[in-house]
Chains A and B, each alone.
Chain A
């Protein structure tokens, strides 16, 4: 509706004055906060949904950890409620549903919506100096497409036989043959529908982001003056655009396999549970490996969709709080682009054990090992940014630095797995689990925390409490490492993932104490998030009020009021320099905002703090 609005909200006062910009047309509560087309509101909607889903996914993780530490024992608090038949203990069927839904929720309903949905929406127009997204209505629809997705997920659990149980990777034939697992009755179909809706949502977001970034930058905002967050979100959106159609097609094929017995993925001559699915009318002649190729063709790029935006956010935050220009801006951009490009030719590394041609596996190995290079370049540049800096240990900075520290671990362990002979042993062990939690939890989730602490004042006009923030950070950092570092050790000992009760194996019998340690750390990690929840809600009403630019940052969003009104900016915008001009010796202050022309001595202090 407002995409024809001019770049600058009309009729506003002198640059730099703190004033609330007001809406010119009155809109009702529903249009303003529920069915809003304002990118900021949509971003906050995505954020709240994502955080709530994170609690849900986290609870599932706690149940998983309970089972791994004390298998088949009565679960405290909710055990009797959920499993009356077993006296409060998890059932093996339910365990498979738990890790399936934990992974699904965390990836598709938490990390991707938080990074691209929440921060993509909130930051893109603000950081490039646009009044809103290019297609505000599409944007609103993008958020509301998540609702059927969530309904489908819930329906899966309520369905006969229970939730989907084939893992977040949904490998056929376990996922396509209804007699193969209880959750493969209709739970799996609901899961596939949920995924399709998530895809619709992501697609609308991606179209919007790309168009907005290409078309709606403020005057002077050249591509190489964009904050790295914008570059990252741009690249992630391109990844979505190119990879997502493949997943959507594949999940529709799996839906057809399940409903119309098309048999894309189901081979002939199976005997499942004493039954031949072909006799039951399920066509066959399909190829299970086809699904794996299609799935990973999307889902490998998806892991970069989950980390590239986090890299961008962390870069912005580190430069701001280190009071230094980002080291190697262009290498940072190019390496993200390289990650995205290479990301399309590495999917086979998830299939080294699948039976693919070993010659092909070797080419996937080379491309995968080489994808560690751009990641390494980024790490070196973050470290370079800290060199000679003037670090402020704010909560966002601590979280962003922790992101770097833990991303290093996840990136390095990737090299083990990329090496095909080594991966023979470690494929599907807990080393994999440790690896992706280091990149997704240690990496992306810490970057998300950093970003929430950093942009909260812009979203709500108030600071989050620093003391609570630091308490939250220290505990989270310690417990995260206790949980996930030790998983490497489990994996080294050969422990397989997705094993409900490993201790009957001689190989694993001695691992229980270690699993207990991990589980206890995980419960602490979960409980520790209470500091974040309290801080988040308490600060909404009681946080210290802020002006436009509490962090003395120099990217464009900080020129707008906090929170920005409809149309975002209340001053004529022109961009004069790159986003990271901190510590310029010729400038009066240690930051030179993008929107201020003259920062040198003798210029008026038209910047607000």
Chain B
């Protein structure tokens, strides 16, 4: 049992480390091009910062994982052997307690404080203070709808353009959006942009992202999934949307086409 259990722990630890190092080919062989069992490549300006923090923490987690599981299985192996004498009559050790309280405490504090500037630069109002609102997002059971300002350049008026399902954005500006819900909670999630925010009925949250054209250029396509990330009823699983990142000129062309379609009353044939 001693050998078997040590082996179980060893396999668990090794496979665990393997998922950190090479999640793509882990056990099941290579994934289809562009798909991973790891974070998908990010394509927004702040994506890089978030991913960096993730890797920072992952590094520390990995060290502690190997350290603790390693000690555990080593001791299980070593002190599981039959021995003629009694075990060590030890009730603890002050110095060790100080060490393993102090060092993790410091590391954890470092982790905590290293998160703050990134979080502030994404979430604080100051990040979008002088930016115009690009569009409104309305979530309702079970779809997303994007409202663009119409000819008057203002949102919430009768000439707003409505785009169901698809959010089209130019790649050269901060996209600031007012997120709202008509009915229950939803959550606006664009995995590749590293953007997620709940939509709460009765409240408006300004959220933003900015596509990073260089990263987008690396992708095989220019549209990406929008997913509802908060349970909103039986159809939650299909509450999807799509963000399409285009150049400024393509964006303007699309907007024109949208306007034409929406205000086409069917009479002005040419």
Contacts and interface: CB of A to CB of B under 8 A. Distances in A.
B66 to A, nearest CB: 11
Interface stretch (A138-146, A213-221, A297-305, A365-373): A365-373
B87 A329 contact: no
Contacts of B112: 365-366, 369-370, 419
Contacts of B101: 331, 373, 377
Contact of A485 (B16, B79, B234): B16
Given A383-B72, A424-B196, A415 B111 contact: yes
B254 interface: no
Interface in A469-494: 470, 474, 477-478, 481, 485, 488-490, 492-494
Nearest to A404: B72
B247 interface: no
B230 A428 contact: yes
Contacts of B86: 323, 390, 582-585, 590
Contact of B182 (A270, A362, A506): A270
A372 B108 contact: yes
A165 interface: yes
Interface residues of A, number: 114
B168 to A, nearest CB: 17
B118 interface: yes
Nearest to A581: B89
Interface string A395-434: 0001001001100110011011001111011011100000
Contacts of A427: 196, 229
A324 interface: yes
B197 interface: yes
Nearest to B92: A328
A563 interface: no
A354 B100 CA distance: 35
Interface stretch (A246-254, A455-463, A496-504): A496-504
Nearest to A428: B229
Given A353-B198, A419-B53, A492 B68 contact: no
Contact of B89 (A93, A177, A325, A492): A325
B192 to A, nearest CB: 8
Interface stretch (A12-20, A507-515, A533-541): A507-515
Given A388-B87, A391-B80, A288 B231 contact: no
Interface in B4-25: 4-5, 8-9, 12, 15-16, 19, 23
B138 to A, nearest CB: 10
Contacts of B194: 424-425
Contacts of B40: 493-494, 507
A478 B8 contact: yes
Given A177-B183, A180-B184, A355-B198, 4 more contacts: A271-B140, A287-B202, A390-B87, A507-B40
